[in-house]
Chain A
């Protein structure tokens, strides 16, 4: 298939791998921010082609994984109400809340629907004027424009029975949080190509300077990732710390400005809690006051409960790149996709799910 196959070519992949071997003289630790990249790395075995001295660690770029438990409990409470049609990307349905997940709400008669676009949820609201339609708006900057568009259109069209349960997070504050942590060992980053398609990469330039780290905007196919690693290692070996763009077929420095404008129209920057990591200042998006009527948290007045995470789950450490999934004692035994302790085991961008799915486990009972 055009634009896919050429980025999965075995001979070209081996060539990039050889080039990385050639320029690597020291051990380096590189973090791929995005969970989509983590899955591509494990699915295609990209890491197996790299020199042993290069360590890839998996970043927090899995929006489903970092959505706070408390908000998932709220989603479950809202979705359980009979007057509500609760729409979500499929990925959120299996994420464990305190007592259950959205799939079990569906099994108990809740109207929970998987949609591929928030605009589909707006359509469902138009078709069901007597029901309240709620869309679970999770994601990084990548999904923000479409979610903003849904609210924007709902307001223009006077649709009163539509609202968003917002859990939007931003990449640059997360990178800064990782870099300023005393336990940080990341020396270079592969930034998420799709996020930068929307936002461009100017906001990464001061981070690269301040912390002296190379940041390479990278795509999602095996060759993209290999080339991104090559550029990152080259900078590290040469002592440079710049923002480079590997994903030129999609990303421009200034990004997609109409999309950014729409985000700014509907959302404002707010502080957010990251599941497993904690609060990060100015790290997310919330609806602006002008759009507050579309905020599901206000509309449904759901109480905040204090919630306890599973004491055994180390997903916070996994999301910060401090531990690898298979270093968790529960991995593959007490924590599986059927019985997840944390979201990283069920999200299609979660690192634990990637290891479980693509790597042989010592216990072959999975």
Chain B
């Protein structure tokens, strides 16, 4: 009990800003300077999407996630389905088979019952298609004006049925990077609704449970070294996190990164970079080079990996930098998201 003073000095950030939840540098600072040093233990210190726990010889994955998205309903999903997919995907990033979820609801006084009913049914449908059961829950109601309709927290437990270790410290020079589809759709779908942007056809969120696809890769014997879902902060922040944790350099090629044309157009208009936009059904896989082509074929054969692409590789440079070859053939760094690109999108 030697240090009672706050590790993020008042002079730096006296109050919480939206960016502290944005998946970028400030959130990272919270985790590294407040949460990890205080709660620190070998399981947490791995800094994975879910904790891997050994219980009587069985390896379990355990994770939690909260959902505050606005609007509650958006093209391609809603807060209910998102709350299931987000947690299921965090479990999948450890290579776990998701089994059970909890659901905690924070409801705002005045929320139409019909709205809650739609959300709950959507959660159940999402749980069914992801092969999980919602087995426990909690409900709290806050005063009108103290919430934003509905906030949902889900926690999840899954079982790891193989001996693979999937974690940043297994990443090696030469590893090949794959993404399972086009990037940026979730963030832009939300933004389009909020900003009233209209496209010829609505951009739908990519929100989906990817555990099935991950398990298929594993059961085909693909040597997966690391997985990360590309939620807040997008591909750029995920790669920076892994580069820092594994102390490796990562190079990607802008030409190979799949982004749909309507998403690209929206990004150009809004001034966003699709590398930083959130996804809810996309992940990056670090795969042994000898398995890369086979992994790509397997992904493309799966409905949630049709747009999969090899986007780069791990270099043998020591500096934990992410480098991108631009469309015109020059190289630049890709930094972690600083501040907030899209507020509250998941």
| Interface residue ranges, A against B (CB under 8 Å) | 1, 4, 8-10, 13-14, 42-46, 48-49, 90, 94, 103-104, 106-108, 116, 222, 336-339, 346, 348, 356-360, 364, 366
Q: Which residue of A49, A103, A108, A336 contacts B328 across the interface (Cβ within 8 Å)?
A: A49
Docked complex Cα distance between A45 and B18 (Å): 32
Residues of A within 8 A of B25 (CB): 337-338
Is the CB–CB distance between B327 and A10 below 8 Å? yes
Instruction: Judge whether B339 and A45 touch: CB under 8 Å.
Output: no
Interface code B195-222, partner A: CB below 8 Å = 1, 0 otherwise? Answer: 1000000000000000000000000000
A14 lies within 8 A of B329 (CB): yes
Q: Are A222 and B327 touching (Cβ within 8 A)?
A: yes
Q: How many A-B residue pairs have CB under 8 A?
A: 86
Nearest chain A CB to B8's CB is how many angstroms away?
Answer: 11
B329 touches A360 (CB 8 A): no
Known: A108-B15, A348-B271. A10 touches B338 (CB 8 A): no
By the criterion CB–CB under 8 Å, are A48 and B16 in contact?
no
In the bound complex, do residue B328 and residue A339 qualify as a contact, i.e. CB atoms below 8 Å apart?
A: no
19 contacts between A and B (CB under 8 A): A1-B268, A44-B328, A44-B332, A45-B329, A45-B332, A49-B329, A49-B330, A94-B339, A107-B15, A107-B17, A108-B15, A222-B328, A337-B339, A338-B29, A338-B338, A348-B271, A357-B333, A360-B321, A364-B319
Q: Which residues of A contact B328 (CB under 8 A)?
A: 8-10, 13-14, 44-46, 49, 222
Q: How large is the interface on B (under 10, 10 to 19, 20 to 34, 35 or more residues)?
A: 20 to 34
Chain B proximity of A40: nearest CB distance (Å): 10
B326 at the interface (CB under 8 A from A): yes
Determine the residue in chain A with the shortest Cβ distance to B16.
A107
Cβ A43 vs Cβ B332 within 8 A: yes
Docked complex Cα distance between A49 and B327 (Å): 13
Docked Cα-Cα span, A108 to B329, in Å, equals 45
A106 to B319, CA, bound (A): 37
In chain B, positions 325-346 with a C-beta closer than 8 Å to chain A are 326-333, 335, 338-339
Residue in A closest to B19 when the chains form the complex, CB atoms:
A103
For residue A120, give the distance in angstroms from its CB to the closest CB of chain B.
Answer: 9
CA gap between A108 and B29 in the complex, in Å = 21
Verify if B261 is at the interface (C-beta below 8 Å from A).
yes
Contacts of B26 in A (CB 8 A): 338
B264 within 8 Å of A (CB atoms) = yes
Contacts of A336 in B (CB 8 A): 338
Residue contact A44 to B339, C-beta cutoff 8 Å: no
**Interface: B174 (CB within 8 A):** no
Within the assembled complex, what's the spacing in Å between the Cα atoms of A357 and B261? Answer: 24
8 extra A-B contacts, CB within 8 A, seeds A10-B255, A43-B332: A13-B328, A13-B329, A44-B328, A104-B17, A222-B327, A356-B335, A357-B335, A366-B335
Chain B residues lying within 8 Å of A366, measured Cβ to Cβ, are 335
